[in-house]
Amino acid sequence: MQRYEKSLMDAEISLTMCPDWIKGLYRKGRALVGLKRYAEAAAVFKQLLKLDSSCIDAAQELMTVQIIQLMEIGFSREQSTNALIIHGTLEKALEALSNIPVEDMKKTPPKPSPPMRASPIKPQPQPTLFPIWVGNLVPSVSEKMLQTIFETVGEIYSLRLLRAKRCAFINYTKDEYCQNAIRKFNGIELEGIKILVRYPDRLHTHLGMSKSAQPSADMPKTAQKSTGECFFWRNNGCIKKNNCIYRHVPEHKGIDRVKSHADAP
């Protein structure tokens, strides 16, 4: 514990001289996590991501901290993780899991139930969501970029970009929007790489997703799943190099790369 306190003190000293120092903010957030001051840690990681939205380590730390916060309330790790992936923020995830508006929870502290109970509060119905999964995203792809592209086929309820996993989840308000997105965008080139657009492998209906949303069993497998090869190696190159868990076949490097119009005959 003393080690974390010293780390926090060192980070705060460095931040007084350079408030926007990315590494200093990251160290401060990590120290706060070690001290179990999760709300403060989350605020620091959010501040860091505002300065550098491409910092994968900070995004992962924020996700972990928010999962812990939900688990401390009483939800399971799986429930917490799924809710954050789908709804994007801790507040929306908590509201979805509890079916109680967050503002009401803040105003009403928990207390023992009185002998004479009033009529129970009717849970607010969650909207029925229709999700799609977007994969093979390169680090330069942003949430704003995805929003601009995918909102052209229908109303988007929420969008969550997972940089560490190179994918995104998009929730539409109608299933026909999902079908249009899959039909129109699956296989298009985005930042030099062909993206995959399909229904998610798992449907989390307890978080508002429609039971009628279709599974992805009928979608073709990627080269990554069927052969164990790295998709990015077969396109513009893999940034993980020797640390990648997928196969890098030398003669397949760039074999699937999309040719630009300038290269066309």
Which fold is adopted by the domain 2-102? Answer: 1.25.40
Q: What per-residue confidence (pLDDT) applies to 166? A: 87
Q: What per-residue confidence (pLDDT) applies to 116? A: 52
The overall longest dimension of the chain from CA atoms, in Å, is 82
Q: How far is CA 77 from CA 52, 66, 86, 88, 171, in A?
A: 27, 11, 14, 16, 22
Q: What per-residue confidence (pLDDT) applies to 117? A: 54
Q: What per-residue confidence (pLDDT) applies to 125? A: 57
For residue range 165-212, list pLDDT tens digits in order.
888 999 999 999 999 999 999 999 998 889 999 988 755 444 445 554
Q: What per-residue confidence (pLDDT) applies to 226? A: 47
How far is 243 from 234, CA to CA, in rounded Å? 16
- Which of the two residues, 161 and 262, has the higher pLDDT score? 161
Mean pLDDT of 44-68: 89
Of 97, 126, 132, 125, give the one whose Cα is nearest residue 203: 132
Q: Where in the chain is the domain with CATH 1.25.40.10?
A: 2-102
Which fold is adopted by the domain 130-216? Answer: Alpha-Beta Plaits (3.30.70)
Q: Where in the chain is the domain with CATH 3.30.70.330?
A: 130-216
Dihedral of the CA atoms 259, 261, 262, 265 (nearest 10)?
80
pLDDT band, very low/low/confident/very high, at 238 (cuts 50, 70, 90): confident
For residue range 93-151, list pLDDT tens digits in order.
888 887 644 444 444 444 444 555 555 555 555 678 889 999 999 888 999 999 999 99
Q: What per-residue confidence (pLDDT) applies to 202? A: 57
Of 87, 84, 175, 184, give the one whose Cα is nearest residue 131: 175
Does 244 have pLDDT greater than 50? Answer: yes
For residue range 63-84, list pLDDT tens digits in order.
999 999 988 888 888 888 888 8
Q: What per-residue confidence (pLDDT) applies to 207? A: 45
Does 52 have pLDDT greater than 80? Answer: yes
